[in-house]
Amino acid sequence: MSKNIVLCGVGGQGTVLASKLISGAAMNKGISVKSAETIGMAQRGGSVFSHLRLGDDAECPMIAHGSADIIIGFEPGEAVRMLPYLKKGGQVIVSAKPVMPVTAALAGSNYNGEEMLAYLQDKVENVTVMDTETACRELGSTKIVNLLLLGAAVESGELGLSADDIRQVIKERIPEKFHQLNFQALEYAKGLNKGV
CB of 154 to other proteins, least distance (A): 20
Contacts with other proteins in 35-54 (CB under 8 A)? Answer: 35-47
CB atoms within 10 A of CB 196: 10
4 interacts with other proteins by CB under 8 A: no
100 interacts with other proteins by CB under 8 A: yes
CB of 169 to other proteins, least distance (A): 11
User: Are 64 and 43 in contact, with CB atoms under 8 Å apart?
Assistant: no
Instruction: Pick one of 86, 93, 166, 189: the residue that binds other proteins (CB under 8 A).
Output: 86
In degrees, to the nearest 5, what angle opens at C-alpha 41 toward C-alphas 38 and 46? Answer: 70
123 interacts with other proteins by CB under 8 A: yes
Instruction: Pick one of 103, 140, 176, 191: the residue that binds other proteins (CB under 8 A).
Output: 103
Of residues 154, 141, 143, 159, the one with CA closest to residue 187: 154
Longest Cα–Cα distance in the chain? 50
Of residues 56, 50, 45, the one with CA closest to residue 70: 50
User: Are 18 and 72 in contact, with CB atoms under 8 Å apart?
Assistant: yes
Q: Which CB sits closer to other proteins, 37 or 131?
A: 37
CB atoms within 10 A of CB 14: 16
Instruction: Find the part of the chain contacting other proteins (CB under 8 A) among 104-112, 150-158, 167-175, 186-194.
Output: 104-112
177 interacts with other proteins by CB under 8 A: no
Residue 196 CA to residue 151 CA, distance in Å, equals 15
Residues that bind other proteins (CB under 8 A): 10-12, 23-24, 27, 32-47, 59-67, 77, 80-81, 83-84, 86-90, 99-106, 108-112, 115-116, 119, 123-125, 142
